[in-house]
Amino acid sequence: MKLAYLSTFYPYRGGIAQSNASLYRALEARVQVNAYTFTRQYPDLLFPGQTQYVRDADKPDPIPAERVLDSINPFTYFSSVRKIADEAPDVLVMRFWMPFFAPSLGTTANRLRKKGVKILSILDNVIPHEKRPGDTQLIRFFLNQNDGFIAMCQQVKKDLHRFRPDAQCVVKPHPLYDHFPNKISKEEARTRLNLPVDQKILLFFGFIRSYKGLDILIQAMAGLPNEYTLVIAGEAYGSFDKYERLIETHGVRDKVQIHARYIDDDTVQNYFNAADVCVLPYKSATQSGIVQIAYHFHTPVIVTDVGGLSEMVTDGQTGLVISSQDPEDVARAVERFFTMRKTTRFVENIADRRQEYSWSGFATTLLDLCSLIKAEIQ
């Protein structure tokens, strides 16, 4: 079988590029696969972060992806089709995480499908976290160009079937992000970050966007004793000012450490190894790659019960699932976690589940589905 894999790869950075690289490596060990990526992923005007590209401090896996597709230039949609078709793939694999990419990826898929190429998409999300006019039409257009799907949680599969009730879909959880440096001791990690060794450390990690509920967690800190410290680590999409105001308003300045910047791969280990627990009080979600980074470092996770997060965290075993997004309830859950960890094998339970989240297992699921949809036209 011969695959084409069109998504974001090196020189782009971020969790999706990283996970694409890991899956590409698992696939290339078993089948022929050619990688393709964007000449322009987002217009600078629409990208609120610092940069879309890897920097000197990053250590990406330089996947040999051919840069063919400009997300906002329709002429490249058709030239991309020609380049991919020249390699005569059996299946085109793509990733879908927001409606913005529906025109470019959907048009490319449509044209290749007419040439006999089967189309399979990995769905991070179907419904976007931040909705905009026209999303429904764009989502429906993209989904209709596909022959099969892998959803990373049951919630995404349900969202898919709202648009395509008959869609062929397999659910396979997001694998671990296992490309980070090895685990270090909690003491060493806290020393590197200038964190007190004797504090109870909560971690909020990842790109800071409104739907992720950092405001809830800051308010929750007001209800926790001074032995708790919240570390905020990640680049803000937009201004961080509103969070600064919340920190001041709720009088928690002394209980919060802010690292509001993109966290390079080499330093990710410091944050997760320093933390007692990662707290993700999302307001909406499907699945979260942050959970899988936490599991890589054997760090328990507290999440709100939204989207597919409760599928990723086993309540009382690998972390806690909170039914409420109220700051007081979040604070109570944090205190309950620290009481429970005296008798609960959180770290050991996470270690026992790591094999469920391997890239080789994800590749097997993908290739099995490729074979199935390919066989349907034989």
Q: Is residue 366's pLDDT more than 60?
A: yes
DSSP assignment of 268-324 equals HHHHHHH-SEEEE--SS-S--HHHHHHHHTT--EEEES-TTHHHHS-BTTTEEEES-
Average pLDDT of the chain?
92
CA distance 232 to 212: 12
Residue 165 has pLDDT above 50, yes or no: yes
Residue 368 makes CB contacts below 8 A (sequence gap 6+) with 170
Amino acid 378: pLDDT: 46
The pLDDT tens digits for 181-239 are 778 999 999 999 999 999 999 999 998 989 999 999 999 999 999 999 999 999 998 88
Measure the CA–CA gap between 18 and 9, rounded to whole angstroms. Answer: 8
In angstroms, the Cα distances linking 215 to 178, 244, 249, 263 are 29, 10, 12, 20
DSSP helix/strand/coil, 99 = helix
Cβ–Cβ < 8 Å for 79, 54: no
Dist. CA 344–CA 37, nearest whole Å: 44
**Residue the block writes with tokens 């009382």:** 316
> Where residue 114 falls among pLDDT bands split at 50, 70, 90?
very high
- Taking each helix axis as running N to C, give the angle between helix 214-221 and helix 327-340, from 0 to 180 degrees, rounded to the nearest 10: 70
The mean pLDDT of 69-95, rounded to a whole number, is: 97
pLDDT at 130: 78
The one-letter amino acid code at 2 reads: K
User: What's the average model confidence in pLDDT over 5-26?
Assistant: 93
Average pLDDT value for residue range 35-47 = 85
Q: Residue 143: pLDDT above 90?
A: yes
3-state DSSP assignment of residue 333:
helix
By the 10 Å C-beta count (0-12 exposed, 13-18 middle, 19+ buried), 190 is classed as: buried
Of 153 and 142, the structure prediction assigns the larger pLDDT to 142
Residue 295 has pLDDT above 70, yes or no: yes
Q: Which domains does the chain have, with CATH numbers?
A: 2-175+358-375 (3.40.50.2000), 186-355 (3.40.50.2000)
Is pLDDT at 135 greater than 70 in this prediction? yes
User: pLDDT for 338-354, tens place per residue?
Assistant: 999 988 899 999 988 87
